């Protein structure tokens, strides 16, 4: 099978020759893996070839002006399009961009209405099509548009308003920022899917709904404020006959029946340590109705165990999720920098050698 066939079969719960494989990692572990395979630091493709990755994400390059600026004197960086403000924080095994300021925390409605956001006209959709054609002629991996942040309400608003204010906004129905953002994201996605019709294989969205111990919000609030705002993205994907995968961290299965009702095909992350999210429970309750992507904790044996413990955890995940099809392997989050390189290599070799 080609990677594309393998992934599409998994979405459809049909037989595959092996488990489809995906890769997500923080910067330091990515650097160490490239060094292990003697891959040049700027060559992501060579690394994913070594790991037999079946997925490629794509988007249209932004061609407009920079909209937001940081403060280098204070070490504060700003996302050029949306303005999230971060600082690089180093720890003993790597570093993270941590949010340090929230530009819209105390903003009134007029300030939110005037806040600079990207223009959907300022993207090179022709370049995106060229990229898709080259990928199809090359490795022919499964191409997805979007990602874990597409359509997201809570996380992105939290980075602009602060998490407390973002949750207050959600509860009170103050969705001006959400609706401005998502209208732009939807326009960009519409143009991208139309331009690259026939090349994109699925749409990836995201909304973190759970903590480790339980839901972050009630099902009632999800249905009132978030579900209707996801619907236009899901309907758009359906109009192009594309499956939708929803990234959803933590104890999020309380919303999975609604995902199914909306036409979402797959769920991503599946953090096994979160309440009610073990592979056995999720497969029992939703197998055959949802496909699954993720499932191996980045805070378990992969980070804190040895090779044998990592292999055992991966095998348990595969044994639970693969019967009947519909499983795509991925770590449940970005592989963290404290994960030993030998554990990561053992994880991928175990999945590659697993017999269905």
Q: Work out the burial of residue 17: count CB atoms within 10 Å of its CB; fewer than 13 is exposed, 13-18 middle, 19 or more buried.
A: exposed
Q: What are the structural domains, with CATH classification, of the chain?
A: 3-64+104-353 (3.20.20.210)
User: pLDDT class for 308, splitting at 50, 70, 90?
Assistant: very high
pLDDT in tens, 20-31: 999 999 999 999
pLDDT in tens, 206-237: 999 999 999 999 999 999 999 999 999 999 99
Query: How far apart are the C-alpha atoms of 302 and 310, rounded to whole Å?
Result: 5
Answer yes or no: is pLDDT of 45 > 90.
Answer: no
Q: Work out the burial of residue 37: count CB atoms within 10 Å of its CB; fewer than 13 is exposed, 13-18 middle, 19 or more buried.
A: middle
């Amino acid at each position: 099978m080609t990677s594309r066939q393998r992934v599409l079969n998994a979405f459809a719960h049909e037989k595959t020759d092996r488990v489809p494989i995906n890769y997500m990692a923080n910067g330091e572990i990515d650097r160490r893996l490239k060094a292990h395979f003697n891959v040049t630091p700027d060559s992501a493709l060579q690394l994913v070839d070594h790991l037999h990755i079946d997925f490629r994400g794509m988007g249209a390059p932004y061609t407009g002006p920079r909209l937001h600026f940081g403060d280098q004197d204070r070490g504060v960086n700003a996302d050029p399009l949306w303005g999230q403000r971060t600082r690089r924080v180093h720890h003993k095994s790597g570093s993270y961009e941590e949010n340090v300021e929230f530009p819209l925390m105390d903003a009134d409605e007029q300030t939110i209405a005037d806040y600079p956001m990207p223009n959907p006209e300022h993207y090179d959709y022709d370049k995106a099509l060229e990229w898709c054609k080259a990928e199809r002629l090359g490795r022919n991996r499964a191409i997805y548009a979007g990602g874990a942040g597409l359509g997201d309400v809570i996380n992105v608003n939290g980075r602009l308003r602060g998490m407390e204010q973002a949750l207050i906004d959600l509860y009170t129905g103050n969705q001006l920022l959400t609706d401005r953002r998502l209208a732009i994201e939807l326009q960009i996605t519409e143009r991208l899917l139309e331009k690259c019709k026939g090349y994109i294989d699925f749409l990836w969205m995201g909304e973190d709904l759970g903590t480790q111990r339980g839901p972050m919000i009630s099902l009632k609030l999800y249905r009132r404020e978030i579900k209707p705002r996801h619907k236009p993205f899901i309907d758009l994907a359906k109009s192009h006959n594309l499956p939708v995968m929803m990234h959803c961290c933590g104890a999020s299965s309380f919303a999975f029946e609604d995902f199914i009702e909306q036409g979402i095909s797959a769920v991503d992350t599946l953090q096994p340590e979160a309440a009610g999210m073990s592979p056995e429970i999720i497969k029992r309750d939703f197998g055959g109705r949802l496909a699954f992507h993720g499932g191996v904790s980045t805070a378990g044996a992969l980070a804190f165990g040895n090779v044998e413990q990592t292999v055992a955890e991966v095998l348990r995940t595969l044994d639970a999720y693969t019967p009947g099809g519909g499983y795509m392997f991925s770590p449940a989050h970005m592989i963290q920098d404290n994960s030993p390189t030998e554990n990561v290599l053992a994880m991928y070799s175990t999945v590659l050698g697993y017999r269905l």
